[in-house]
Structure 1
Amino acid sequence: MYIVIGADGREYGPATTEVIGRWITEGRCNAQTRVRRADSVEWRPLVEYPELAVFLAGTKAHPISSPDKLPPGTLPLAPHVDSRQVELSPSECIGRAWRTVTSAGAGIIFGAVVLWLFILICLEVLSGIPLAGLLVIPASWVIHGPLIGGLCYLILRVLRGQGAELADLFAGFRYRFVPLFLGWLVAGVLLVLTSVPGGLVSGIGAVSCVLAETAVWLKALGATLIALGFLLMLIPVTYLGICWWFVLPLIMEKGLDFWPAMKLSRRVVHRHWGRVFLLALLILGINLLGALACCIGLLFTLPLSFTAAMHAYEQLFTWPGHTGPAQPAPASIG
């Protein structure tokens, strides 16, 4: 089974060898049509698949328009995206990300991550300057969403075999600035608000420990409240933080507004929360190892982490998946 990128930049399939052969004879596909196997992430020209190239014999070359320059927000969601079950494998996402970042065309990902880190470091340095920091700190909140949205967009273009360039890192400022900013801001504010009850409980526990003096039972109560408050903060923040992991790429890449993106990300991730959480733990561990290597290792682990997350995003929101119905044959895909 194969997935095909049509002239409109949309994905069609899964389609059998015979179906694609019919599309070729009808002039809907040609030798340069982008194709990947349904169980793979690698996009290749149709002519590189021998089982498909045999159908090219005797056909004329039909020019197709390239989807490479389509603006963000044009790629549709997978069918039944919020109700289907996807066999998401955290280890497979890491493995695919490894193959991606060690491939010949991965330099653009490393370059984008280094530039993103450089911008963050500059903002951090400027925020420590008196007076200037008063402007830099709110400015950093404004640009974080669009920057991360652009980074996700660039990595997704690499995964799909499209022509990514370093300028794609800043595409969020051009195309989806307001919803990306609001998606980052609203999600951050809501995560802070969900931690308030637990923070209050921990605060009461800390006060109890301070006032206890020699009262052992009061110290024990205070310690219990501190632990309980920590859990009350950790559980909702972890759950929602994982559920909203894909808000920015959904805004950037699928054209959703910030609130629909937050709702859709939560619904889809909730169905696969355990596996997405495990992927997040693996990514956290990888980055901790990178930080232990004098932080230089982060220059490799961060590109790997972002790429693994985008592989998971592709499976959850873009690929047709395992349980959704096949898309009908398009009127024209090439």
Structure 2
Amino acid sequence: MAAFDFGVKVDPVLFDRQINEGYEVTASEYIRKGWEMFRLNIGEFVGFTLVVFVISALSSMSNGGGSIIFSSLTAPLCAGFGIAAFKRMSGQEIQFSDFFLGFKYFLPLFLAGMAMGLLVAVGLVLLILPGIYLAVGYTFTMFLIVDYRMEFWQAMETSRKIVTRQWGAIFWFACLLALLNFGGALALGVGLLVTIPVSSCAVAIAYKEIVGLYSSEW
């Protein structure tokens, strides 16, 4: 997929089972497996997290243009964690360059990031609860774009429909990850070098367990 392709429409029938029949959510198991995945590739995950931190720091020291640039990079950078996790779950070795493969899907990821941010912000203004619902509902958007080469709006809506089936359980999972990263932040921020990649791996594992991996190459 070229970086500036919009993505494709995917047959929604592929997701009927998750949307109509439901699925089981095992939050603690996703986090445990996320830790095991991180432990097997500590250097790569910590190194890439440091790269993200440096880019964030540089953008914060620049003018407003720097913030805009970092915002445009956020989704592809986050997708890098997911792609690395997908490769590990498929039995492939992780190379450091794999973390930058999210830029192959730049346009749909960028559009999804902007649209989700806007809709969640509006939802938070409107009595808060709609924003929380959407923030959790869009959990799998990035993975659907990468895994199915899906266009951004269908990815957002597909994620929302899948998550809504077990919204409470996914919300609890998100809360556990938030607590994990809060603990990482308390450790002088250094703990985030561990908790951010562990959290990212855990969400990728949840996607694989709930939706299943469609592609074999990303």
User: What range describes the TM-score normalised by the shorter chain of this pair?
Assistant: 0.7 to 0.9
> Which portions of structure 1, spanning 4 or more consecutive aligned residues, are displaced by more than 4 angstroms?
76-79
**TM-score (norm: length of structure 1):** 0.57
Give the drift of 1:159.
2.5
Alignment of structure 1 residues 42-81 onto 2, 5 Å = 80-81=17-18
Could you tell me which runs of 5 or more consecutive residues in structure 2 were left unpaired when the two chains were aligned.
1-6
Q: CA deviation at 1:110?
A: 2.4
Q: Which runs of 5+ in 1 are unaligned?
A: 1-71, 127-132, 198-231, 321-334
Cα displacement (A) at 1:106: 4.0
Which amino acid is the alignment partner of residue 181 of structure 2?
N
2:38 aligned partner, one-letter code: V
More helix by share: 2
| Residue 121 of structure 2 is aligned to residue 178 of structure 1 | no
Higher relative strand content: 1
Match of 1:109 in 2: 45
Closer, same or farther: CA 296–268 of 1 in aligned 2, 3 Å: same
Q: Does structure 1 conserve the Cα–Cα contact (< 8 Å) formed by 2:76 and 2:105?
A: yes
Partner of 1:195: 124
Q: Residues 160 and 110 from structure 1, CA distance in 2 versus in 1: closer, same or farther, beyond 3 angstroms?
A: farther
Which whole-Å CA distance do the structure 2 matches of 1:89 and 1:280 have between them? 12
| Alignment match, 2:36 | 99
Match of 1:137? 67
Greater Cα offset, 184-193 or 116-125: 116-125
What one-letter code is carried by the residue in structure 2 that aligns with 1:236? P
CA RMSD in angstroms, aligned pairs only = 2.3
Deviations along 1:132-155, whole A, 9 cap, x unmatched? x13212212221122212221122
- Residue from 55, 58, 76 that aligns with 1:122: 58
- Identical counterparts, % of pairs: 29
Q: SS of the residue aligned with 1:296?
A: coil
Greater gyration radius: 1
Maintained 8 Å contact 1:78/1:319: no
TM-score normalized by structure 2? Answer: 0.85
Verify the 8 A CA contact 1:180 1:248 in the aligned structure 2: yes
Counterpart residue type for residue 25 of structure 2 = L
Task: Note the 1:1-334 alignment, pairs <5 A.
Answer: 80-103=17-40, 105-126=41-62, 133-173=63-103, 175-197=104-126, 232-233=127-128, 235-318=129-212
Distance 2:115 2:192 in 1: 28
Larger RCO (CA within 8 A; separation ≥ 6)? 2
Amino acid at match of 1:151: F
Would the alpha carbon gap of residues 319 and 156 (structure 1) be closer, same or farther in structure 2, given more than 3 Å must change?
Answer: closer
Contact 2:24 2:210 in 1 (8 A): no
